[in-house]
Amino acid sequence: MKNIVILISGVGSNMAAILQAAEQERWAERLNARVAAVVCNKPEATGLAWAQSKGVATAVLNHKSFTSREAFDEALIGQIDQFFPSVVVLAGFMRILTPVFVAHYAGRLLNIHPSLLPAFPGLNTHQRAIDAACQFAGATVHQVTADLDHGPILAQAVVPVLADDTAEVLAKRVLSQEHLIYPRAVADFLRGLSGPLQSPTR
């Protein structure tokens, strides 16, 4: 069985979209894959209760309990690897990952970013698209590399930027497309995997 571990920091709407797709499209039967766990860095995140309601294992690792980003990521690796992941999916996980973490899951770490990469990496993507008078915006699913918001692109969705858009309105339009393309991209990625991730010796 190919195990998926999803990392969240809040509501986890993309996590929910992936879980719903896994159930409705019978990933266990068709892809030999399942969402094995949802891991979160914020104990108060509402997405945890939603995942638990679907019978998915959850774990919380509060980043505030660690003295450094490196120490947190090392502990996070240990937590994730308990579930023997084939793929690790970032779904609103609001942490900049260390090179050690990215290297540990090299080739099997996915993210979704709310812009049409390579345009507008980083934060405030919707306002930046409006300020640049873009006619189109969107979202990108990509493999994670050591460079922030770079890596091989797996899927993109395009939405129009309307004349009266605010960043909040545009964000909702983009998010609706994220919920469509992220589960599809994860499923496509799983089809190309042979089995569980073998953790490298550290």
DSSP 54: T
**Cβ pair 175, 181 in contact under 8 A:** no
113 is catalytic: yes
Catalytic residue among 113, 126, 142, 179: 113
**Cβ pair 106, 123 in contact under 8 A:** no
**What is the identity of the amino acid at 119?**
A
Both structure tokens of 11: 């509501």
**What is the identity of the amino acid at 155?**
A
Contacts of 114 by beta carbon, 8 Å cutoff, 6+ apart? 125, 126, 137, 139, 171, 174, 175, 178
Surface-to-core class of residue 180, CB atoms within 10 Å of its CB (0-12 exposed, 13-18 middle, 19+ buried): middle
Catalytic positions, please?
A: 113
